[in-house]
Structure 1
Amino acid sequence: MGKRVFIIVLDSVGAGEAPDAAAYGDEGSNTLGTVSKHPAFHMPYAEALGLSSIRGTGMKKRSGIIPEGAYGKMQEASCGKDTTTGHWEIAGIISTRPLPVYPDGFPEDVIKTFEEKTGRKVICNRPYSGTEVIKDYGREHMKSGALIVYTSADSVFQIAAHEDIVPTEKLYEYCRIARQILTGEHNVGRVIARPFTGTWPDFVRTAGRHDFSVHPPKDTMLTYIQKAGMDVLSVGKIIDIFAGEGITEAQRTVSNRDGIEKLLAYMERDFTGLCFVNLVDFDMIYGHRNDIEGYAKALSEFDTFLPEIRGRMKEDDLLIITADHGCDPGTPSTDHSREYVPLLISGEHVRKNHDLGIRNTFADVAATVLHYLGVPGKLEGTSMWPEIEKKNGD
């Protein structure tokens, strides 16, 4: 068994407003700062890795903690605060142009073409909460068969439909049609299928969500690792964010706990390369609903698994914990926030108690991973490995 790298993205766990937060309407946002003040927040194992030692997060640092690895935070160099651009940057691509967003809904010509190709009318067509939109438009959808199309602050075209009206596979077909339409200036990051079941007012979204993403514009950390003959294992929505490119095996998830269990199972496997994990509940269930208590409990639950995750690491394993953007549940906004993201790196070969400070781009993760695995590739970012590698005497 060769070297293995495990990247865990705590979706939306921002670490304080970025210098350009005001340009995005996010001045004062601090996801970790907000959530860590709630009584339900308890992350002693993440603190032991250096979480509370990161400067500017708003977390209180307990006395006597000497971080077991390297820690710091990263500033996003890409334009935007979207899931896609955040993950792409972690994988080595800096997006100089933001993906298109639609605060007033999609243009009439886009909707008309979509209606013609699917043979179904569209209702809603504006930014909306995913749970509220099915409550407000679900009955009309069930009577007319019209598709509920909506968006958010992200670059997304979302289609909600009841499974009794539109079978899930048919909904996926409609999403593929939308993906073909949404090109050029309307090349949105993701087309998302949002199936739901139940009766009004208790409609419930199912686990049948599926993302149809735009393809990365060039090779990423994932494709370089795959081309080198190594494994790239995806857990959660990673496969959707990268449109399947560079991934050798994937498992989708229904919850954070499910994602962690799948990660732990992969850790028992003999492989060489990368296991890339996204835990989306922080963002999807708690951040977007401004649920501070739920967010705090979810982070605390993740923390309880850290000893087992660390316990399954082999001598040559590297663990990287980070995030893709913020989503401060304590602000009036329910959208993503432009924030720094935390960075924790640990393993037998990593220097203890090393402050990485502020990295200028998430892409430093990709450069570090390729360097550690010995994989050639041309990416944005600077490898941190020479700085964090344990030397004699450390």
Structure 2
Amino acid sequence: MGKYQRVFLIVLDSLGIGAMPDAKRFGDTGADTLGHISDTVAHLNIPNLQKLGLANLHPLKQVPAVEHPMACCARLFEKSNGKDTMTGHWEMMGIETKKPFKTFTEHGFPPDLIAALEEKTGHKVIGNKSASGTVILDELGEEEIATGHMIVYTSADSVMQICGNEETFDLKELYRCCEIARELTLKDEWRVGRVIARPYVGKKRGEFVRTSNRHDYALKPTGLTALNALKDAGYSCISVGKIYDIFDSEGLTESNKSQSSVHGMEQTIDIAGRVFNGLCFTNLVDFDALWGHRRNPIGYGEEIERFDVKLGELLNVLRKDDLLILTADHGNDPTYTGTDHTRETVPMIAYSPSMKASGILKERDAFHNFAVLGATITENFGVNMPEGSIGESILDLLQ
């Protein structure tokens, strides 16, 4: 039985804190999600993140560092070759991704892939570009209904999204087409992280509404993770938000879908009121999806403030044998060019009411990858990381 009975790992999706040393290779020189948000917004009211030590870890224009931060803080470096959601989360749990997932933001999916998709599904593809899901429905929904063509689009993530009207295209047919797309995009040259079925209803532009019958066809992790090790050892592995999709349910004992990042925090707070022994793994996607990709630093800053309010509520219900870890999976600088993720270091802020250590942790080899998180959590519960995984525990520093 570990020192901490429960670990709450919360991912503030895309909250990077400065360009990685190799950022130039990814076209992200000078990116700094949190720093540039602070430089842009008029206010950043985050008293709970401040007292934990966020401004000690990364200087902020509006938020002074505190003399005695409550948490242990460190800057983590991504070892994997990529800057996407799956790569970052998988590395947290011990997987190093050497071959990055493909994105098709600028030019859409290649002709060979589209031709193969059309041949195997029997539907002509329309769209094939990076777009907002609601915008592309207004643009092409009427054509899809009239012709039986298939709307395909992507985003700044490694994702293929396929739309189908539930009344005319048929939900089962949409799922069949997505299963074909998932099989096609397993090829290395077209390696897409997720295929998403995006069903909708409505008959004309302005009335289209996406339904709750969305279905994600994700890749399973390329190896066993810390989640598998914990579950197999009998510990709870509870997910909140898109963690279920990122790991394709692998290693989880319970999943909770979130309607927003605020809702995700409310779910996490509710879980903190329950009795369990193990991990609660939360992803808060709105930072990334609503503000980072849309290059809106004002909205991003306000989302951080909303998170800070809920963070205060969570801190109030943590038990002495709980460990809270805040981190991120990549950057998405809302002041940067384009709409893509940015290759950045991420924060690690670790706090427990019983923790005596605090402040900025001295760097050692463990801090050069995100897998320090999974390794630390598994060691806490006396569980070995899976063979072939990466990561070095720093549990000894979080006492």
TM-score by length of 1: 0.91
Give 1:149's aligned residue: 152
Distance 2:127 2:18 in 1: 34
One-letter code of the match for 2:394?
A: M
Distance 1:366 1:345 in 2: 13
Distance 1:345 1:130 in 2: 36
- 1:137 equivalenced with 2:147 (yes/no): no
Q: How far did residue 108 of structure 1 move?
A: 3.2
Distance 1:91 1:75 in 2: 14
Q: How does 1:97-136 map to 2 (within 5 A)?
A: 97-102=99-104, 103-136=106-139
The answer (yes or no) to whether the contact 1:40–1:293 under 8 Å persists in 2 is no
Give 1:276's aligned residue: 281
Instruction: Name the Cα RMSD after superposition.
Output: 2.2
Distance 1:195 1:43 in 2: 38
Query: Any stretches of 5+ residues in structure 1 without a counterpart?
Result: 390-394
Q: How far did residue 128 of structure 1 move?
A: 3.1
SS of the aligned residue for 1:212 comes to strand
One-letter code of the match for 1:123?
A: I
Q: Aligned pair in 2 of structure 1 residues 24, 133: CA closer, same or farther (>3 Å)?
A: farther
- 1:340 equivalenced with 2:350 (yes/no): no
- 1:301 equivalenced with 2:306 (yes/no): yes
Which of 367, 370, 378 is equivalent to 1:370?
378
One-letter code of the match for 2:92?
A: I
- 1:381 equivalenced with 2:381 (yes/no): no
Q: Which moved more, 1:129-138 or 1:71-80?
A: 129-138
The answer (yes or no) to whether the contact 2:50–2:65 under 8 Å persists in 1 is no
Aligned residues: 388
Q: Aligned pair in 2 of structure 1 residues 255, 163: CA closer, same or farther (>3 Å)?
A: farther
Give 1:175's aligned residue: 178
Give 1:14's aligned residue: 16
The answer (yes or no) to whether the contact 1:53–1:61 under 8 Å persists in 2 is no
Distance 1:192 1:357 in 2: 42
Give 2:197's aligned residue: 193
Q: Aligned pair in 2 of structure 1 residues 373, 170: CA closer, same or farther (>3 Å)?
A: farther
Distance 1:304 1:27 in 2: 32
Q: How far did residue 381 of structure 1 move?
A: 1.4
Please list the CA deviations of residues 71-112 of structure 1 after superposition, one character each: whole Å capped at 9, or x if unmatched: 121111111111110110111111111122334332334323
Give 2:244's aligned residue: 239
The answer (yes or no) to whether the contact 2:237–2:278 under 8 Å persists in 1 is yes
Q: How far did residue 223 of structure 1 move?
A: 0.4
One-letter code of the match for 2:72?
A: A
Q: How far did residue 167 of structure 1 move?
A: 5.0
One-letter code of the match for 2:11?
A: V
Distance 1:334 1:131 in 2: 17
SS of the aligned residue for 2:361 comes to strand
The answer (yes or no) to whether the contact 1:52–1:60 under 8 Å persists in 2 is no
One-letter code of the match for 1:133?
A: I
TM-score by length of 2: 0.90
Q: How far did residue 226 of structure 1 move?
A: 0.6
One-letter code of the match for 1:286?
A: W
Q: Taking every aligned residue pair, what percent have the same amino acid on both sides? A: 42
Distance 1:191 1:219 in 2: 22
